[in-house]
Amino acid sequence: MSESPSVPITIVCLASYFKGVDFLRECKRRGCEIILVTKEKLLGEDWPRECLDELISLPDGAGPDTFVHTVTQLARQKRVARLVALEEFDIMTAALIREHLRLPGMGVTTSRLFRDKLAMRVAAREAGIPVPDFIHVLNYQEIGQYMERVPAPWVMKPRSDVSAIGINKLYDSEQVWRAIEAVDRRENPQEQSSYFLLERFVPGDVYHVDSLVDAGRVLFAGVNRYGRPPMNVAHEGGVFISHTVKHNSADQKKLLQLNRKLIQSLGLLRGATHAEFIKSAETGEFYFLEIAARVGGAFIAETLEAATGVNIWHEWAAIEISAGSEPIKVEPSRKEYGGIALSLARQEYPDTSGFTDPEIVFRVRKRHHVGLVVRSERQERVLELLNEYARRFQAEFSAVLPPPERVE
């Protein structure tokens, strides 16, 4: 890890959700001036205010133009050196600001590849990375031909939302046409069908690869598998689980290879990424699902740190501060296994004091959530604990909410 810059630099961070506290703290530790731009509804969150030189709140309904104007006015008084999006929904806004102020980092064209599920699929397919058969929900004749060629079920996905938001599983052509008609009745053109894709549903296990990238090169990558596909958890409820894949296994090696090829094909110069792949239950082949230019949510960063000793928020801060001025090295301090069990909870702040296993290294402290991160030298022990916690969470804490159709 490199040291602090010799001359303090000003970093502006955007956060439409409460995220990235470790990033902010690390930037301040390295001597940077930190300005956080967020929404009014997030002012009450536990931001590390001692690390912030300025905290700016914008109206909850503020659009990209307001963010661009706000940071532009900041730049009249300060020499803004970096602009960082801490959250998925700020990636495109950050790109607009960078292009307006000519700051280093991703511009709009590259950013779109990490926000638009259609664009990233096209790029991955052109790079020779397996992708489930898909089609843009646009031309009616081509959609009909697609459904004749590709067997059901299919999933209809918004091109720019995250997680399972707005995703519907469809079992016949009539359901598809009705789904298209339903979204086309929406008033906002950007919520209508041309902003969706239709994709073959591939049953199987879902994996994620979380990476740090500098100079277009993957410096670090951790490979984990979800206990159940995130779409299933979002639609059916239950406990979210993720755990380290067996070290040096064929699955780990294949996913690391696909991940490097994917990041190279998308042209990312530096940053953090979270990519998801599905392993077909029928053929055993891996297919690309999606990638984001951010740190994974659901306390994945804490799970990776448990297994490797690498705090990806801290290392991402080092990469952003350096901006290619010096080589960055990321060296894991251990090669163990980590895992997380996480669930929505009926209680505001669930009491997990009854969980006393020595492998527990992190307890989630978030309203109406319960979660534990564990670490062990043996993957079998991690899986044993996660399965036990999933059972106990269901009995003692778990709540289920329907997934939102769109982002609030």
Average pLDDT value for residue range 91-111: 96
Report whether pLDDT(141) > 90: yes
Rounded CA-CA distance 57/43 in Å is 7
Report whether pLDDT(184) > 90: yes
On the question of a cis peptide bond just before residue 153, with omega within 30 degrees of 0, the verdict is yes
Rounded CA-CA distance 135/328 in Å is 40
In the chain, the largest separation of any two C-alpha atoms, in whole Å, equals 63
Amino acid 150 reads V
The pLDDT assigned to 347 comes to: 95
Report whether pLDDT(407) > 80: no
Which residues face 209 on adjacent strands?
223, 275
pLDDT band at 402 (very low <50, low <70, confident <90, very high): low
Which residues face 54 on adjacent strands?
35
The tokens describing 308, both together, are 């490797």
The 10s digit of each residue's pLDDT in 339-367 is: 999 999 999 999 999 999 999 999 999 99
Report whether pLDDT(4) > 60: no
Report whether pLDDT(250) > 60: yes
Which residues face 274 on adjacent strands?
210, 292
Domains of the chain (ranges, CATH numbers): 10-104 (3.40.50.20), 133-200 (3.30.1490.20), 204-396 (3.30.470.20)
* Contacts within 8 Å (CB) and 24+ apart, 251-254: 251/207, 251/223, 251/225, 251/279, 252/223, 254/286
| 218 SS3 class | strand
Rounded CA-CA distance 398/237 in Å is 9
| Inter-residue contact 95 to 107 (CB < 8 Å) | yes
Strands 286-292 and 337-344: unpaired
Q: Which among 242, 216, 169 has a CA at the least distance from the CA of 403?
A: 169
Report whether pLDDT(404) > 80: no
Rounded CA-CA distance 240/229 in Å is 9
The pLDDT assigned to 206 comes to: 97
The tokens describing 403, both together, are 């997934």
Average pLDDT value for residue range 52-79: 96
Report the number of secondary-structure helices (H) and strands (E) in the chain. 12, 16
Rounded CA-CA distance 5/316 in Å is 15
217, containing H or E segment: strand 217-226
Report whether pLDDT(236) > 80: no
| 328 SS3 class | coil
